[in-house]
Structure formats: structure tokens, C-alpha cells
Amino acid sequence: MPSKTGAKSTDTEQRVAELYKHIDQLMYHYTAIQSDSLDTPWGTLSHQECKVVKMLEQEGSCIMRQIAEPLGLALSTATGIVDRLVHKNLVHRERSDEDRRIVKVGLTDEGRAIYEADKKRFMDLCRGMLNSLTDREQISYLSLTQKIIKNG
């Protein structure tokens, strides 16, 4: 007769496998949305370029160190990414009036528009997911997701 611990372990492993399938399906839907954007300006950006654009939208103008550190990039790598984004007219560099050695990087209007278009596509996916749930289920799902992210 199996022990309770063995049964619990088996149940947990079955749930892990089920969660894996769910996450895989979510990633499939997200990837489908991303592939829809391949013929848009967002689709021409590398993964790292997308991360920098998202960060600048969320944080506002930053100096290079503020971009590199949170993204786990070498300063030279971040500089190269920003160079490409400047060339694509998605970000701009601006020297500080107080200290000319300080250069801040910020989004251009075009960079902001591209970010907003991608965000809208992703928000549509999220809206579709939540619409399949009752209000109570939505609140529970969001609470559980936040708990998982916080502790994961």
C-alpha cells in the first residue's frame, strides 16, 4: 500500500505536468500574437531591443547603467542595443543640462507608439483569457498568479 507521502508526491507531479501543458499553451497563444506582429515595426526588433523599449516605457528616461543593470547586460551590450534603437528612431539620447557627461535615453514618439501597439495586442489576449472566467474566478486567478510570481 503506497504511503500518503508517495501519493502526495505523485499528485504533485501530475499537477506539475498539467501546469507545464497550460503554460505551454499560453506561450503558444502569446507566440501567435507575437508572430502577428512580425510585419510591424515591433517585429523587426530583437528580444533585447524589445526589453529596452519596454523598460524605457515603464521607467521613463534612463542613463545607460539604469538600462544595463536590471536587464543583466554589460554596459557595452546595452550601448549597442541603444545605438540600434537610435538608428531605428525608437529612442533618443539627451545630454543633461546640469552635467554634460550624463546622457539619458528615452523613447521617441515612434518608440512609444510601437510599444503601445504591442501592448494592445497582448492586452487583447489577456482580456480574452479573463472573459472566460466569472468575476470571482478572475480575482482568484489574479491573486494566485501574483502569489506564484512573488514566490517563484
DSSP for 63-95?
EHHHHHHHHT--HHHHHHHHHHHHHTTSEEEEE
Closest CA to 114 of 134, 93, 91, 82: 91
**Domain 45-107 in CATH 1.10.10.10:** yes
What pLDDT, in 10s, does the model give residues 4-54? 666 778 888 998 889 889 888 888 877 776 666 555 566 678 889 989 999
In eight-state DSSP terms, residue 61 is: S
Q: Which amino acid is at 42?
A: W
What pLDDT, in 10s, does the model give residues 107-142? 999 999 989 988 888 898 889 889 999 999 999 999
Computed from CA positions of residues 41, 42, 44, 46, in that sequence, does the dihedral angle turn out positive or negative?
A: positive
Statement: residue 79 has pLDDT above 90:
yes
- Is there a contact between 130 and 80 (Cβ–Cβ < 8 Å)? no
Where in the chain are the domains? 45-107
What pLDDT, in 10s, does the model give residues 92-104? 999 888 888 888 9
